[in-house]
Chains A and B, each alone.
Chain A
Amino acid sequence: MTTQLPLPTRKLEAWRYSDLDALAKVWPEVPGKRETIAVPAGESITRIIAQQAREGAVIVEDYTVTLGRDARAEFYVLNTGGQFGRITLDVTLAEGAHFEMGGAILGSGTQTLEIVTQVTHAEPGATSHQTVRSVLAGKATGSYLGKILVARDAQKTDAEQSVKAMLLDRTATANAKPELEIYADDVKCAHGATVGELDRQALFYLASRGLPPAEAKKLMLQGFIAGVFDGIEDAAEREAIEAAAIAALENLL
C-alpha cells in the first residue's frame, strides 16, 4: 500500500526502535495490510495474525479497531518474519468492551520486530488485557510499545499488560515500553515488564534428565511463550499458530 506520509524518523516515539533504513528502501510502497475493523455492540471477533514474511522483507500492518458497547475483540499475533516486521493495533473501547491481545515476537539475525499498541478506554467499565512474550537471538531487536489511554469519564477501567522478553544472546535487544495516560480517577492499570536469559540451573535440570542442550532450550522457550495463544477457542487454529511459533523457535536455536 502506498502512503502519502513522510518517512518516519527516530524522533517519533512510536518509531524509535524501528529499522528505518529497511523501511526507507520500500517507502512509500510499504507492504502489509491497513485495516479498519468495527465490532458492533455486543459482538465479538477473533483475529489471528501470523507475520511470517520471507527473509529480508519489510512489512508493516496497521489495524484500527473500534469496539461498540460490550463488544469483544481478541487479537493473537505471531511476529517472526522479515527484516523489519511491525504490527500496530489502535483500539478504542466503548463502555463494557474488552480487548484481548496475545503476542509473540520471535527474532534472530538482524531482524527488527515490533508490536505497537494504543488502547483507548473511551468509556467506563471497559477492560483490556495484553500479553507479549519475545525471544530474541543474534542481533535481533524486539520491541513492544504499549500505550493505554484512559479518558476522563472512563471510570472502572481495568487495563493490564504483561511483557516478558528472553535474550538468547547478549547481542540481542529487547525493548518493552508500557505507557499510561490516565484522565479518570477510578481505574486499575497494571503493567509488568521483564527481560531475562534462559535459566542455567533449569537447563542443567533438563539436561540431567536426558535432554540434549538444544532440546532443553527449545522446551524452556516453549514454556516461556506458552499461554500467549491459549485464548484461541478454535483448537485447530490454536494448534496451527502454536506449531508456527514452535517452528520459529527452532530457527532461533
Chain B
Amino acid sequence: MLKIENLHAEVDGKPILKGLTLSLNAGEIHAIMGPNGAGKSTLAYVLGGRPGYEVTEGSVTFTPSRPPGLEPGSRFSVAEEGSGTPDQVRGDEGEALDLLALEPHERAALGLFLGFQYPVEIPGISNVQFLREALNSQRKARGEGPLSGGEFLKVARLQADRLGFDMEMLKRPVNVGFSGGEKKRNEMVQMGIIGPRLAVLDETDSGLDIDALRVVGDGINRIMRAPDKAVLLITHYQRLLDYVQPDFVHVLSAGRIVRSGGPELALELEREGYAQVAA
C-alpha cells in the first residue's frame, strides 16, 4: 500500500527526515512513536504534500487497492464494520503511484487521508458544505457522479452519530469554537465520510479525554480496520494503542526509524522511555 524508501526532507532548509524507510501493507495498522522533534509530524505533512516540506532524497510509492470512497454496491451507505471478507483482494495489486509527484488534492482523491494534529478553523463555511464539496471534488476526480445534498446528509449523519458528534456541530463553521477533543472527533467524522484507503493520523489522540479517546479509537477501528485499508498512526503515547491495536510499532528518532517491532514495543517504550529504547 505504501512504501517509503530512504526519505530525506527538510523544512526551511533544515533537514528533518534523514533516510526514513517504511513499508505498510494493506490490512495493517502501523504506529510510529518517538520523542518531540523526531520528525513525526514532518513525515505526516510530507505524505500529505504540504507546501514548504521539501523532499530532497528518496521515494514514496502509494498503491491504493481499489478506488476509495463509499463501498461498492451501495450508492450512499458507508463501510460497515469489518466489511472486508478474507478472500477479498488484499489490495496491493493496484497501480503503483509516485506519491510525491501528486498534488495534495490528488493524493486525497486516490485515497490518502491526513488526520491533522491541529485541525484548522475555517470561519464562514459549515462542515457540511466543506465536506460535501470535498467529497464531490474527490468523486469528480475519480470519474464518479456527485452526491446530492440529501444523499450526503445521510452519509454525514451516520458517521456523526457513530462518533457521538452532534449533527448541529456539523452545520457549524469548520472547527470554529470547537474544543480540542471536538476537533479530533470531527477529523474522524470526516474520515468516515470520505472513506480513505490509507489514513495517516498525526497525534489524533492528543487533546482527548479518556472517553473521547475510546470513541476515536473505536472510530479508527471501524472505519479503517479492513483487508484493503491501512493506517499510519503517529503518536506520542501508548494509550491510544490500547484501543487501536497496531500490527507494527516503529520508533522514529532524529529523522529515521531506529527500531521496529510488534505491539510489545509500545509497552517497552512506555516503560523505559524513548532515550533508552532509541539508543
Contacts and interface: CB of A to CB of B under 8 A. Distances in A.
Interface in B66-123: 103-105, 107-109, 113-114, 116, 119-123
Given A211-B105, A212-B105, A205 B51 contact: no
B203 to A, nearest CB: 15
A197 B220 CA distance: 35
A49 to B, nearest CB: 22
B124 A227 contact: yes
A211 B120 contact: no
B133 A205 contact: no
Nearest to A223: B124
A223 B105 CA distance: 20
A210 B121 CA distance: 17
A91 B107 CA distance: 53
A219 B120 CA distance: 14
Interface residues of B, number: 32
A224 B176 CA distance: 13
A183 interface: no
Contacts of A247: none
B120 A200 contact: no
Interface in A185-236: 199-202, 204-213, 215-216, 219-220, 222-227
B258 interface: no
Given A204-B51, A215-B137, A222-B125, A209 B120 contact: no
Interface residues of A, number: 24
Contacts of A226: 123-125
Interface in B49-75: 49-51
A219 B133 contact: yes
B132 to A, nearest CB: 11
A102 B261 CA distance: 60
Contact of A209 (B103, B121, B194): B194
Contact of B105 (A200, A210, A224): A210
Given A208-B104, A209-B194, A223 B125 contact: yes
A216 B121 CA distance: 14
B276 to A, nearest CB: 35
Contacts of A227: 124
B141 A210 contact: yes
Contacts of A206: 122, 130, 134
A209 B190 contact: yes
Given A209-B108, A211-B105, A201 B124 contact: no
Given A207-B104, A208-B108, A209-B194, A220 B122 contact: yes
B131 interface: yes
A205 B108 contact: no
B105 A213 contact: yes
A211 B113 CA distance: 13
A206 B107 CA distance: 12
A90 to B, nearest CB: 30
- Identify the interface centre among B51, B109, B124, B194: most chain A CB within 10 Å of its CB: B124
Contacts of B103: 207, 212-213
Interface string A110-136: 000000000000000000000000000
B48 interface: yes
Contacts of A223: 122-125, 173
27 contacts: A202-B120, A204-B48, A204-B51, A205-B119, A205-B122, A206-B122, A206-B134, A207-B49, A207-B104, A208-B104, A208-B105, A208-B116, A209-B194, A210-B105, A210-B109, A211-B105, A211-B137, A219-B125, A219-B129, A220-B122, A220-B125, A222-B124, A223-B125, A223-B173, A225-B124, A226-B123, A226-B125
Interface of A: 199-202, 204-213, 215-216, 219-220, 222-227
